[in-house]
Amino acid sequence: MERNELMIIYGDKPLEMTKKICEAAHLADMIPAGASIGLKPNLVVAKHPDTGATTHAEILEGCIQYLQEHGHKNIMIIEGSWVGDSTTRAFKVVGYDRLSRQYNVPLFDTKSDAYEHRSYGGLTMEISKTALNLDFLINMPVLKGHCQTIVTGALKNLKGTLSDREKRHFHSLGLHKPIAYLNKIVRPGFILGDGMCGDLDFEEGGNPVRMNRIFCGLDPVLIDSYICQTMGYEPDEIPYIRIAEDIGVGSTDLAHAVVTELNKDTSRAKPASSRRVAQLARYVDDKDACSACYANLIQACARLDDRGLLGWLKKTPVKIGQGYRGQTGTCPGIGNCTRGFDTHCAGCPPKTPDIIAYLEEYISR
Ligand code: SF4
């Protein structure tokens, strides 16, 4: 896999999907024999992944199975929850304690570690010694929103390698610059993103959007740019992504990236499991929409809502889903299934920015 590549797999079976995407990316070949490997999930709080806050245990399980089947046995799960929450409790709540027992993979809490001081650009940081000493780090962020930095993904997930004192220091510095600088020091060898049901706009979860995808790559800036695109933002809207690109961590150039979708999403969208998502879904008429397509539309509706435009769709709800195939209509349609309508946004599934642009144009008529 090259740094300008991204791979995406869709579905609702994260364990199997993880094994397939690791196989397709030839992850095992990137890791030297006998290397110490750290899996770094996002356990910001002790909440179940279905809330949209944390990395699914099934994704770690798929990765561990894959690595062990390829002869890589020296694996640990390493994380430090945010200040005020217990990583040990989080390990239990998300089910990593079972993984640890079943696969003989230790759980390591960076809060209990010794720290080394490392500097970049005049900023000195306290970083977990264990994280720094790993031979190969696999970063496993959740695709989700964040109340301060708008989105969170690969770049920000490395905050879990810091001491609690350093996490507080990062907040006092406004997060963006230190997050970007941290990524010049801690350099994961592989990024495996959990896009199963990340939160719409809050890192602690509560408004999960079922997006049914797992993605991987080598460049954290490119991965975070993909997360931005999926949620309907431009990478330039997120200062730490811009800074990370400027200091050479990676590239935001999605237009020239090689993006491989390993399959099509065939799972059906399910009713919203939170009030905020249900509010957005009131503007949508779904008939058998695929999960990924529906999720992209919900993210687009959230961005239109941010701009005060969503109310314009009250009288003409947006149609989406395979149930509209072969039908005609005057409402806005999303996806190739609605190509018989007077107007529709093409794609299968269409990307979130394309849906936003289409609906903005529709509203402005
Ligand atoms: S356009 Fe139709 S078939 Fe394609 S992803 Fe959307 S709902 Fe599914």
- Go through the domains of the chain in sequence order and give each one's CATH number: 5-261 (3.40.50.11440), 275-363 (no CATH)
Tokens found for residue 342: 């007077």
Does this model's pTM top 0.75? My answer is: yes
Instruction: Return all residues near 361 (Cβ < 8 A) that are at least 6 apart.
Output: none
Residue range 234-277, pLDDT digits in tens: 999 999 999 999 999 999 999 999 999 999 888 888 766 788 88
Compute the distance between CA of residue 300 and CA of residue 13 in angstroms, rounded to an integer.
25
83 pLDDT more than 80: no
Residue range 208-233, pLDDT digits in tens: 888 999 999 999 999 999 999 999 99
Residue range 42-51, pLDDT digits in tens: 987 888 898 9
Average pLDDT, the chain: 93
Tokens found for residue 155: 């770049």
- Determine the atom of ligand 1 nearest the C-alpha atom of 292: 5
Kindly tell me the sign of the dihedral angle through the C-alpha atoms of 164, 168, 171, 177: negative
The verdict on the CB of residue 278 being under 6 Å from ligand 1 is no
- Determine the atom of ligand 1 nearest the C-alpha atom of 289: 7
The verdict on the CB of residue 274 being under 6 Å from ligand 1 is no
Tokens found for residue 52: 């949209």
Instruction: Return all residues near 200 (Cβ < 8 A) that are at least 6 apart.
Output: 52, 144, 145, 207, 208, 209, 274, 276, 277, 298, 299, 302
Would you call 64 helix, strand, or coil by DSSP? helix
Position 276 scores a pLDDT of 86
Count other Cβ atoms within 10 Å, centred on residue 185. 16
The verdict on the CB of residue 290 being under 6 Å from ligand 1 is yes
Residue range 153-177, pLDDT digits in tens: 999 999 999 998 998 999 899 899 9
Compute the distance between CA of residue 345 and CA of residue 337 in angstroms, rounded to an integer.
10
Kindly tell me the sign of the dihedral angle through the C-alpha atoms of 104, 70, 37, 254: negative
Tokens found for residue 68: 């062990």
* Candidate of 284, 290, 339 to mutate for ligand 1, largest count of ligand atoms within 8 Å of Cβ: 290
53 pLDDT more than 90: no
Mean pLDDT of the region 199-213:
86
- How sure is the predictor about 291, in pLDDT bands with cuts at 50, 70 and 90? confident
Residue range 98-152, pLDDT digits in tens: 999 999 999 999 989 999 999 999 999 999 999 999 999 999 999 988 888 888 9
What residues form DSSP beta bridges with 145? 151
Position 171 scores a pLDDT of 87
Strands (E), the chain: 5-10, 37-41, 75-79, 107-109, 115-120, 123-128, 136-140, 144-146, 150-152, 190-195, 213-217, 258-261, 284-286, 318-320, 333-334, 344-345
